[in-house]
Amino acid sequence: MSSNIITIIKIVLLLALIIFTFWGFSSSYSSHNIDNIVHVVAIGIDKSDNEQHNMKVSFQFLKNSTLGESSSSETSSIVTSINANTFNHAISLMNSYIGKELNFSHCKVIVFSKDFATDGISTEIYNMMNNEQIRPSTNIVISTSKANTYLKNSNPNIEKLVTNYYDTFELTSNFTGYSTDTTLGTFYSKLICSDCNNTAILGRTFETSSDSENSSDKSESQNNKNSNNSSESSNSEKSNSESESKAGQSSNDGSNSENNEASSLDILGERGTQNIGIAVFREDKYIGQLSDTESICHMLVTNNIDSCTIAVPIEEYPDNTLDIRIINYKNNVIKIDTSSDEPHISITLHYNAKILDIREDIDYSDPSVIDEISNKVESYLKEQIDSYLIKTSREFKSDIVGFNKYAKSNFLTINEWKNYNWGSKYENANFSVNVAINTNSRLLFTKR
């Protein structure tokens, strides 16, 4: 009798295990199946071109077929845009349009157009932080052109997948200083801070090498067609003129002249985007941008850079410049005097320097030469950092460095700090910058 009961119990447990297994894994064959979801790797937000909607949201999808591919000659992602009133509304509409569920667990970048960010992006930041799938480590980019255009031109040229390209944003900021590694989490943290101001990666689009070749081919084809059509010579001349004009334009919705504000770098490659410069915010609104040199100064002052290369102007040397590698080895020392309505900010920066240019006419083994170079580098960096700090305080009126956290230590209570009103005082701040450069000659070739 007992053996029969044991047998029955075993059968019941086995059936329960089978039922639990099928029930537990049944969701794999529902809407969460990989065939029923689409991975969003980037989000773009522009002003809507439809008066009935507030925004145009672009989603860059990673094709499921490319997830396991080691290489592919085809485009690994597509960009689809939709007009909506809110970000969550856009998600619902896109789910309906594509017939699949959007998944943001692989989202790497959120791009706002400059025009949209000028009006403020706090609502969108809050909604994205409230989305459990969007990670706080997602980068924030402000594009000088439309966000949709930026995403369409973000095709990897060295990396196999666009996600690999987006992963390089943090790395490049650490060893170039041309941009900043701003994430959704850090942007949100400063947004809810009453005395903090934000920065973001500055992105832009430009004409690619393939676009240039295509423009030349089209122009040549048009010329051949015109030579065989003498009856339309006047129209042909007009067409050629328009073709040549278009060939010299950027593919960034006419924002080429503005792109040069942040950087005069002329890059021609297969990928039509670059991230050089820093977007500056006051509260949640975009107010301006830093150039490539100013971006390096920002990264140096905020101590968020491992190393970078600068070209120091030295009139006595050939080409009037000397390439120097700046290497961070000690945290900056910042002291702030808030005893008056014009706070005095003192900054001391410590860096090692390596001379990259090896020239025959310069005796790098001579200590006096090394000292002279160090003085030149110190003077140049001090001048550039002074200019950058004046720009942030006088022009932008935005404490993007975060001096407020140092100034708070001068006050005993929160009320005293609030009454001081740091936001209005910062625009009248005075700066004292001291740069200490240690140039190590042992890193250089020496004469025998």
DSSP string, 35-103: GGEEEEEEEEEEE-SSTT-SEEEEEEEEPGGGTT-S--SS-SEEEEEEEESSHHHHHHHHHHHHTSEEE
- DSSP assignment of 162-187, as one string? HHHHHTHHHHHHHHH-SS---BHHHH
pLDDT at position 285 over 90: yes
Dihedral pair phi/psi, residue 358, rounded to 5°: -105, 110
User: What local confidence, expressed as pLDDT, does residue 64 receive?
Assistant: 55
> Model confidence at 162, in pLDDT bands (50, 70, 90)?
confident
- DSSP assignment of 332-373, as one string? EEEEEE-SSSS-EEEEEEEEEEEE----TTS-TT-HHHHHHH
Q: Report the alpha-carbon distance of residue 315 to residue 249 in Å, rounded.
A: 36
Q: In what order do the strands lie in the sheet with 321-337?
A: 307-313, 321-337, 344-355, 430-439
User: What are the structural domain ranges in the chain?
Assistant: 31-207+265-290, 209-248, 292-448
Stretch 347-367: mean pLDDT, rounded?
Answer: 84
What number does CATH give the domain 292-448?
Answer: 3.30.300.210
pLDDT at position 63 over 60: yes
Higher model confidence: residue 80 or residue 64?
80
Higher model confidence: residue 76 or residue 404?
404
Q: Report the alpha-carbon distance of residue 140 to residue 42 in Å, rounded.
A: 10
pLDDT at position 97 over 70: yes
This prediction's pTM: 0.78
Q: What is the CA radius of gyration of the chain?
A: 28
pLDDT at position 20 over 90: no
pLDDT at position 337 over 90: yes
Mean of the per-residue pLDDT values of the chain? 80
Q: Report the alpha-carbon distance of residue 151 to residue 332 in Å, rounded.
A: 37
pLDDT at position 310 over 50: yes
User: What local confidence, expressed as pLDDT, does residue 430 receive?
Assistant: 95
> Model confidence at 419, in pLDDT bands (50, 70, 90)?
very high
Highest mean pLDDT among 228-237, 322-331, 412-421: 412-421
Stretch 32-56: mean pLDDT, rounded?
Answer: 85
Choose the weakest-confidence range: 43-57, 246-260, 422-436. Answer: 246-260
Choose the weakest-confidence range: 97-101, 103-107, 152-156, 385-389. Answer: 152-156
> Residue 434 is inside which H or E element, if any?
strand 430-439
User: What local confidence, expressed as pLDDT, does residue 17 receive?
Assistant: 82
Dihedral pair phi/psi, residue 59, rounded to 5°: -115, 130
User: What local confidence, expressed as pLDDT, does residue 359 receive?
Assistant: 73
